[in-house]
């Protein structure tokens, strides 16, 4: 019985064991099948990829990697690095600080002097995987943190507000000591836009943004970068709202006003200038004055023929050539032709001063004074008012002595000498006949010392019969006897006159007298200058014949003529033409005896008075009286004339005037 | 034992893996500095290294100058202030065989220039550390002073490393890097008079400033010699 029961149990156990084994096998098979069915395989891990190392401040750095497949098994990662040229392999000291799949190198482990060779290894149960190594130079992997404390403010000082953005470098970056040098960049956009406007900012930490749209919101961001390295991330967005403003209106109106004013002014100016365009034109561009030269032909100028033009301008006479100076100086013979006058007096154009006058007081070739001759030819009535007569004739206050005849002239001289002293007494006596012999101008006996002197000289020389004074003259007279007569009356001051004498022997006396008279006149003339309009051309007049009726025929004397009749004139009639002497053919005006004598006396006196300087003494009388004696009176007419002071011999005597 | 076998095999594999890469990487590649490019030179070029070292020295000098003036303003009363040309004799580095005159400097070789710089740098690491510690014991030392001192100390250490690398590159020599020692801490146990310590620190800072300038000058001269050998002064 008991056997039967145990065998049943053994059989039941075996079956159970077999079932368990089978179950296990089935389970294992199932497991295997399940595993096979799932497709997973345990494999070594995949290689890590993309190792990135960055340093925020060049003092530490961190590396990150991407893990590959892990092969289904738990995989661990390890980072190993070697330093430059060294075979020592180091493992990452810090896997945790920087997060998962990272390695952090602290300051002690970071060196800027060497490069790092970094490899990441993935390990699982089945194998390892090595990543590609990465060469690291810490300096070149610097990527700073973004700038901090970015502030944006709206500056509204002016009518045009703008944004001012300011920031600070990241804290870790040591820019203060110069360990890192950062440059910045900012970007801005309107709130509803997508495009950013990027502005580089260099190393500065402030930036201004203009041209804002009013009443809108802006977004601003900043980032930075070291010299060699990477740009940081953009900072957090800063929002700023620009207020609404209307600045344009005011300034724009101002601009418009200024513009309008400017345009108005311009137009006004143009209009004004247009109205007076000619004036303006002339004002701005004055017309070029044309040449105003006599004889200048503008058209010829335009034609361009310069030689013709300039030749027309050339005055051939100028400059004067050298040979004709004498002509200029002296030879201007003044021919005085009064209405009835035959006598022509010659005046010199010389305007000399007193010195010259003294020289030329007597007639000479240089002076060319017709006055020398003309005076003597003038009929001179006795009387005192020689001066008056002269004055009446002349303009101004100057006395004009009008010699009427040669004799007269002498007389005149004497009378002049005398008269001047006793002018009121003998005023009646002397009459001047300016017509006969043109009076030389300005014959001022009174006013001028020189003429009186010369006249005095005349008187003196004449009266004195001073051979010394008339040496030449004395020599000459032998040829012409008459000269001698004239000597006492002559003041031959100027030897120049000699040439005159040979010319006309016949009229020497006349000439002499003329000379003498003209001496006076010359002097005066010289002293006074050639001024008078009353200067009339004078010519030598010679008494041609004397008619019985106390007429003197005068004819103009020309050079070379001789008047024999005159030869004998001389001695007698120097003082005055009073009578007509048949011999002499001269009309001698008779002075009043008293006048004569007085004249003589006066002349004496005058001479004395004037000769004080010269030392002449009056010894005139005998000689002077002589002619006077012979003088007859046929004076009434003449007296009348003399009274008038200006006797026209021609009219008186009806002489033909040549 | 098994563990060691495993680790050794691991390292062997590691080396085997790296070996060909090392070989491949040893060939000079294009040194590119552009961003995003991960391929770099195997090593930093000598020129770049020298530039960086110089830049480093410049910064150290600048900061030391600031630190010195700041310290002087804060802690040193007027009568005690040193002139720039004084107290050179008190510097700790006067014993070093470092060229000091211009003529000496002109005659010295590049090698000795570098070694001089290294000597200078190495001789200052410890004092600076000490100074840093002593400053921290001041009652009211401002943070700026402390930070600067710390900064300078760190940078100096970094400079040392750079000079070492530079020497290795230029002269192909290997020198030892200073190892921090804890000897200074012993000195800190002594509590000197405050004024004395301040004066000492002040003197130290002055000396350090001068030496920092020397370092910078040497390095710049070295650089000048690299480019234009006969025109450097």
For A464-502, what is each residue's pLDDT tens digit? 444 444 444 433 444 444 444 444 443 444 444 444 444
Residue A9 pLDDT grade (very low, low, confident, very high; cuts 50, 70, 90):
confident
Measure the CA dihedral A516/A520/A526/A531, to 10°.
-120
CA distance B4 to chain A (A): 18
The residues near B166 (Cβ < 8 Å, ≥ 6 apart) are A113, B46, B49, B50, B53, B114
DSSP output for A409-465: HHHHHHHHHHHHHSTTTTTTTEEE-TTTSPPPS---TTT-SHHHHHHHHHHHHHHHT
Q: A516 by DSSP, 3-state: which? A: helix
Q: Count other Cβ atoms within 10 Å, centred on residue B27.
A: 7
Beta bridge partners of A200: A185
- End-to-end Cα distance, chain B: 64
Question: H or E segment at A359?
Answer: helix A354-359
Q: Which residues of B162-177 are buried (b: 16+ CB within 10 A; e: fewer)?
A: bbbbbbbbbeeeebee
Q: How confident is the model over A450-455, as a mean pLDDT?
A: 41
Q: Where are the alpha helices (DSSP H) in A166-323?
A: 248-275, 277-284, 298-303, 306-313
Residues A286-301 have a mean pLDDT of 71
H-run or E-run covering A225: strand A216-226
Q: How many CB atoms lie within 10 A of CB A176?
A: 10
In angstroms, what separates the C-alpha of A177 from chain B's closest C-alpha? Answer: 7
Q: Which domains does chain B have, with CATH numbers?
A: 40-90+101-227 (1.20.1250.10)
CA dihedral A193, A195, A200, A204 (to 10 degrees): 20
- Is-contact A653 A552, C-beta < 8 A? yes
Q: How many CA atoms lie within 13 A of B20 on its CB side?
A: 4
Q: With cut-offs at 50, 70 and 90, classify the pLDDT of residue B110.
A: confident
Residue A516: name the closest of A622, A629, A411, A621 by CA: A411
> Model confidence at B116, in pLDDT bands (50, 70, 90)?
confident
User: Over chain B, what HEC string results?
Assistant: CHHHHHHHHHHHHHHHHHHHHHHHHHCCCCCCCCCCCCCCCCCCCHHHHHHHHHHHHHHHHHHHHHHHHHHHHHHCCHHHCCCCCCCHHHCHHHHCCCCCCHHHHHHCCHHHHHHHHHHHHHHHHHHHHHHHHHHHCCCCCCHHHHHHHHHHHHHHHHHHHHHHHHHHHHHCCCCCCCCCCCHHHHHHHCCCCHHHHHHHHHHHHHHHHHHHHHHHHHHHHHHHHHHCCCCCC
Most confident of A68-77, A283-292, A636-645: A68-77
In this prediction, residue B57 has a pLDDT band, given cuts at 50, 70 and 90, of very high
Report residue B192: phi and psi, to 5°: -75, 170
Tokens of A467: 């051979």
Question: Are A625 and A411 a contacting pair, CB within 8 Å?
Answer: no
Dist. CA A412–CA A372, nearest whole Å: 13
pTM given for the model:
0.47
Q: With contacts defined as CB-CB under 8 Å, which chain A residues touch B52?
A: 112-113, 139
How many angstroms separate the CA of residue A45 from the nearest CA in chain B?
A: 16
Q: What is the mean pLDDT of residues A258-268?
A: 95
- From A142's Cα to the closest Cα of chain B, the distance in A is 10
Calpha distance A118→A132 (Å, rounded): 8
Looking at residues B139-147, what average pLDDT do you find? 83
> CB A113 to CB B33 under 8 A?
no
Percent of chain B with pLDDT over 70: 70
Length of chain B as a residue count:
233
- Compare A211 and A17 and report the one with higher pLDDT: A211
Interface predicted TM-score (ipTM) of this complex, two decimals:
0.73
The larger pLDDT score, comparing residue A84 to residue A620, is at A84
- The larger pLDDT score, comparing residue A631 to residue B45, is at B45
Q: How confident is the model at residue B159 (pLDDT cuts 50, 70, 90)?
A: very high
pLDDT at A305: 64
Q: Beta partners for A545? A: A553
- A111–B41 C-beta distance less than 8 A: no
* % of chain A residues with pLDDT over 90: 16
Confidence at residue B61, expressed as pLDDT on a 0 to 100 scale: 94
For residues A123 and A75, is the Cβ–Cβ distance under 8 A?
yes
With an 8 Å Cβ cutoff, are B44 and A137 in contact?
yes
pLDDT, greater one: B4 or A539: B4
Average pLDDT over residues A59-65: 91
How much is the average pLDDT of B67-81? 82
Assess whether pLDDT exceeds 50 at residue B92.
Answer: yes
First-to-last C-alpha distance (Å) of chain A: 231
Q: Is residue A130 predicted with pLDDT exceeding 70?
A: yes
Q: State whether B151 and A177 contact (CB < 8 Å).
A: yes
Closest residue of chain B to A88, computed from CA coordinates: B15
**What is the C-alpha separation between A419 and A444, in angstroms, rounded?**
12
Q: How far is B50 from chain A (nearest CA, A)?
A: 9
Task: Please state, in angstroms and rounded to a whole number, the distance separating the CA atoms of residues A149 and A169.
Answer: 8
Cβ–Cβ < 8 Å for A94, A104:
yes
Model confidence band, residue A425 (pLDDT cutoffs 50, 70, 90):
very low
Most confident of A33-47, A285-299, A551-565: A285-299
User: Does residue A424 register a pLDDT over 60?
Assistant: no
Yes or no, beta carbons of B166 and A113 under 8 Å apart: yes
The predicted model gives B6-10 an average pLDDT of: 70
Please say if the pLDDT value at position A83 is more than 90.
no
A window 164-183, beta carbon within 8 A of B: 177-179
Phi, psi (rounded to 5 degrees) for B10 = -60, -50
pLDDT over 70 at A389, yes or no = no
Is the pLDDT at B205 greater than 90? The verdict is no
At residue B14, φ and ψ (nearest 5 deg) are -60, -45
Average pLDDT over residues A210-219: 89
pLDDT confidence bin for A257, thresholds 50/70/90: very high
Averaged pLDDT, A140-160: 89
Nearest beta carbon to residue A230 from set B35, B162, B165? B35
A89 at the B interface (CB within 8 A)? yes
Q: How confident is the model at residue A631 (pLDDT cuts 50, 70, 90)?
A: very low
What are the two backbone dihedrals, phi and then psi, of residue B67, each rounded to the nearest 5 degrees? -65, -40
CB contact under 8 A, B14 and A114: no
Name A588's Cβ contacts closer than 8 Å, sequence gap at least 6.
Answer: A405, A407, A408, A572, A573, A575, A576, A577, A578, A579, A580, A581, A627, A630, A631, A632
Q: Is there a contact between B38 and A135 if contact means CB atoms under 8 Å apart?
A: yes
- Residue A123: its pLDDT value, please? 87
In the numeric block, the tokens 């563990």 are attached to B3
> ∠ at Cα A621 (A615, A624), nearest 5°?
110
CA torsion, ordered B201, B204, B205, B206, to nearest 10 deg: 130
């Amino acid at each position: 019985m008991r056997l039967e029961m145990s065998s049943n149990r053994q059989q039941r156990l075996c079956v159970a064991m077999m079932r368990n084994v089978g179950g296990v096998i089935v389970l294992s098979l199932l497991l295997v099948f399940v595993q096979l069915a799932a497709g997973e395989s345990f494999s070594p891990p995949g290689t890590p990829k993309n190792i990135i190392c960055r340093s925020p401040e060049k003092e530490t750095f961190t590396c990150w990697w991407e893990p590959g497949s892990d092969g289904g098994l738990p995989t661990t990662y390890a980072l190993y690095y070697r330093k430059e040229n060294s075979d020592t392999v180091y493992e990452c000291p810090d896997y945790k600080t920087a997060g998962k799949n990272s390695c952090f190198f602290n300051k002690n482990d970071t060196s800027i002097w060497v490069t790092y060779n970094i490899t990441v290894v993935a390990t699982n149960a089945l194998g390892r995987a090595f990543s590609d190594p990465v060469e690291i130079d810490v300096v070149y992997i610097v990527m700073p943190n973004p700038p901090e404390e970015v502030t944006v403010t709206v500056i509204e000082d002016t009518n045009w507000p703008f944004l001012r953005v300011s920031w600070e470098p990241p804290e870790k970056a040591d820019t203060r000591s110069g360990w890192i040098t950062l440059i910045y960049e900012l970007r801005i956009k309107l709130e509803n836009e997508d495009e950013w406007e990027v502005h580089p900012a260099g190393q500065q930490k402030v930036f201004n943004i203009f041209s804002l749209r009013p009443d809108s919101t802006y977004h601003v961001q900043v980032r930075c970068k070291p010299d060699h390295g990477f740009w940081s991330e953009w900072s957090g967005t800063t929002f700023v709202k620009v207020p609404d403003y209307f600045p344009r209106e005011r300034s724009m109106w101002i601009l418009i006003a200024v513009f309008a004013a400017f345009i108005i002014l311009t137009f006004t100016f143009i209009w004004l200038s247009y109205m007076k365009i000619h004036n303006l034109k002339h004002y701005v561009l004055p017309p070029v004055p044309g040449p105003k030269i006599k004889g200048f032909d503008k058209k010829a100028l335009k034609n361009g023929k310069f030689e013709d033009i300039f030749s027309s301008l050339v005055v051939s006479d100028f400059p004067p050539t050298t040979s004709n100076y004498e002509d200029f100086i002296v030879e201007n013979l003044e021919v005085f032709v009064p209405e009835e006058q035959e006598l022509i007096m010659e005046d010199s154009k010389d305007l000399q001063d007193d010195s010259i006058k003294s020289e030329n007081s007597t007639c000479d070739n240089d002076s060319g004074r017709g006055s020398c001759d003309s005076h003597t030819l003038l009929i001179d009535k006795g009387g005192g008012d020689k001066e008056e007569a002269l004055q009446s004739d002349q303009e101004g206050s100057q006395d004009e002595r009008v010699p009427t005849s040669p004799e007269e002239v002498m007389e005149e001289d004497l009378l002049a000498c005398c008269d001047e002293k006793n002018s009121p007494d003998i005023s009646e006596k002397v009459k001047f006949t300016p017509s006969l012999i043109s009076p030389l101008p300005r014959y001022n006996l009174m006013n001028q010392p020189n003429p009186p002197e010369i006249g005095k000289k005349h008187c003196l020389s004449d009266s004195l019969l001073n051979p010394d004074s008339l040496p030449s003259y004395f020599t000459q007279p032998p040829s012409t006897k008459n000269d001698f007569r004239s000597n006492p009356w002559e003041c031959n001051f100027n030897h120049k006159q000699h040439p005159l004498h040979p010319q006309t022997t016949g009229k020497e006396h006349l000439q002499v007298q003329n000379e003498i008279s003209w001496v006076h006149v010359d002097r005066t003339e010289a002293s006074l200058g050639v001024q008078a309009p009353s200067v009339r051309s004078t010519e030598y007049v010679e008494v041609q014949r004397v008619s019985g009726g106390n007429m003197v025929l005068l004819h103009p004397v020309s050079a070379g003529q001789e008047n024999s009749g005159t030869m004998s004139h001389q001695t007698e009639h120097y003082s005055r033409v009073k009578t007509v002497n048949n011999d002499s053919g001269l009309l001698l005006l008779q002075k009043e005896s008293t006048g004569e004598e007085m004249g003589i006396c006066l002349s004496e006196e005058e001479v004395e008075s004037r000769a004080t300087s010269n030392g002449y003494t009056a010894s005139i009388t005998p000689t002077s009286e002589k002619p006077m004696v012979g003088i007859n009176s046929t004076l009434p007419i003449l007296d009348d004339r003399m009274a008038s002071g200006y006797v026209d011999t021609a009219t008186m005597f009806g002489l033909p005037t040549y | 034992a098994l563990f060691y076998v495993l680790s050794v095999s691991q390292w062997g594999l590691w080396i085997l893996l790296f070996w060909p890469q090392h070989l491949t990487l040893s060939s000079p590649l294009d040194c590119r500095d552009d961003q995003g490019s991960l391929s770099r030179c195997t090593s930093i070029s000598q020129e770049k290294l020298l530039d960086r070292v110089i830049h480093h020295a410049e910064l150290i000098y600048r900061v030391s100058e600031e630190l010195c003036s700041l310290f002087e303003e804060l802690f040193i009363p007027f009568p005690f202030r040193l002139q720039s040309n004084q107290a050179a004799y008190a510097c700790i580095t006067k014993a070093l065989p470092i060229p000091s005159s211009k003529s000496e400097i002109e005659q010295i070789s590049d090698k000795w220039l570098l070694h001089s710089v290294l000597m200078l740098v190495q001789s200052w690491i410890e004092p600076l550390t000490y100074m840093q510690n002593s400053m921290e014991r001041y009652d009211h030392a401002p943070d700026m002073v402390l930070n600067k001192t710390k900064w300078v100390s760190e940078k100096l250490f970094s400079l040392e490393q750079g000079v070492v690398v530079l020497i290795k590159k230029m002269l192909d020599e290997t020198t030892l890097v200073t190892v921090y020692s804890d000897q200074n801490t012993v000195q800190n146990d002594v509590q000197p008079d405050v004024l004395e310590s301040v004066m000492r620190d002040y003197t130290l800072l002055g000396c350090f400033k001068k030496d920092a300038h020397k370092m910078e000058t040497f390095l710049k001269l070295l650089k000048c010699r690299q480019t234009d050998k006969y025109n450097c002064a």
